[in-house]
Amino acid sequence: MSNFGEIIQIHVGQAGAQIANACWELNCIEHGINANGCLHQIPEDDSFKTFFALSQSMKVVPRLVIVDSEPTVIDEIRSGWYRNLFHPDSLITGKEDCGSNFARGYYTIGWEMIDLTLDRIRRIAEVCDNLRGFLMFRSIGGGTGSGLGNLIFEKFQMEYAKKPKLEFIVFPSPSMAPLIVEAYNTVLSTHMGMDVSDCSFIVDNEALYDICSHKLDVKSPTYTNLNRIIGQVGCFFIYCFTKVFSTLEFYIW
């Protein structure tokens, strides 16, 4: 067991799944873990157990669930470089997307996926010795991240009411929105999220593009560039501010 305890990460929607690739690549580099989930050497401490479970064969498995309403992005993870790192049961996909519609992610397709998603999260939580909380990555401009993401945290209010729930949110920019409904999804998700999330770290899409263009000299930034920045910021906050979970847990109790 980690001295700090365990944290379960949840990546929701297309943006969440893409961010998962960047975040867990950095996590593996940080702790000396290869793409197959094997440790290069015996670690000096057990800090890696905060985010990884260690099997008897000395193979580590991330404590996470990645869920999306359509399979395209997660199928890339299943066939990608880190395909042997993630447990197959932690990769959850539906049959159709939410059509960038909050209502479909929250009321219809989300309800079809919520039981399976909660069951997978519950399995990971049950094997934790000292579960400290949950960390979600999502974008609230689309239907899955906004609708299903809020639905997951809403269900947590009943099962894990005393556990801190933090999230990294990719906030859409009005000047760069590819979909006209992003504003509606954002307003609905933000309004409901205030009741179900304990703390939110907001990442602005336009600011990420500006960083790539003006600070990093990337002429045509792609989602891969943006996700790597989010991954680095997320890992920084995770490892430097893990005490946030302890503080929140104190106030929640």
Question: pLDDT-derived band of residue 114, with 50, 70 and 90 as boundaries?
Answer: very high
Helix (H) or strand (E) holding 30: helix 13-31
Residue 139, strand partner residues: 170
Mean of pLDDT values over 88-111: 92
Establish if 162 belongs to a structural domain: yes
pLDDT for 26 equals 84
Nearby residues of 47 by Cβ (< 8 Å), 6 or more positions away? 2, 3, 4, 31
Name the packing angle between helices 149-159 and 182-196 (round to 10°). Answer: 10
Mean pLDDT of the chain: 85
At residue 243, the pLDDT reads 55
Residue 74 has pLDDT above 90, yes or no: yes
| CATH number of the structural domain spanning residue 115 | 3.40.50.1440
What would the mean pLDDT of 93-110 be, rounded to a whole number?
A: 91
Select from 95, 173, 125 the least CA-distant residue to 10.
125
Amino acid letter for position 65: V
| pLDDT classification of 244: cutoffs 50, 70, 90 | low
Number of domains in the chain: 1
Supply the pLDDT for residue 122: 95
Instruction: Say if 49 falls within a structural domain.
Output: yes
Residue 59 has pLDDT above 90, yes or no: no
220 in any annotated domain: yes
Asked whether the predicted pLDDT for residue 92 surpasses 90, the reply is: yes
Residue 96 is part of which domain span?
Answer: 6-252
Per residue in 124-151, pLDDT tens?
Answer: 999 998 888 899 999 998 899 999 999 9
Higher pLDDT, 175 or 221: 221
In a domain, 59, yes or no: yes
Q: How many C-alpha atoms does 75 have within 13 Å on its Cβ side?
A: 6
pLDDT at residue 28, rounded to an integer: 86
Give the highest mean pLDDT range of 126-135, 220-229, 235-244.
Answer: 126-135
Please tell me which residue, 246 or 148, carries the higher pLDDT value. 148
In-domain check, residue 161: yes
Inform me whether the pLDDT recorded for 9 exceeds 60: yes
For residue 127 the two structure tokens come to: 């094997």
Is this prediction's pTM over 0.95?
no
In a domain, 144, yes or no: yes
**What order do you get walking across the sheet with 91-93 strand by strand?**
91-93, 64-68, 6-12, 131-139, 165-171, 199-204
Q: Is 1 part of any domain? A: no
Q: Is residue 132 part of a domain?
A: yes
pLDDT at 253 over 60: no
pLDDT band at 42 (very low <50, low <70, confident <90, very high): low
Of residues 228 and 236, the one with the higher pLDDT is 228
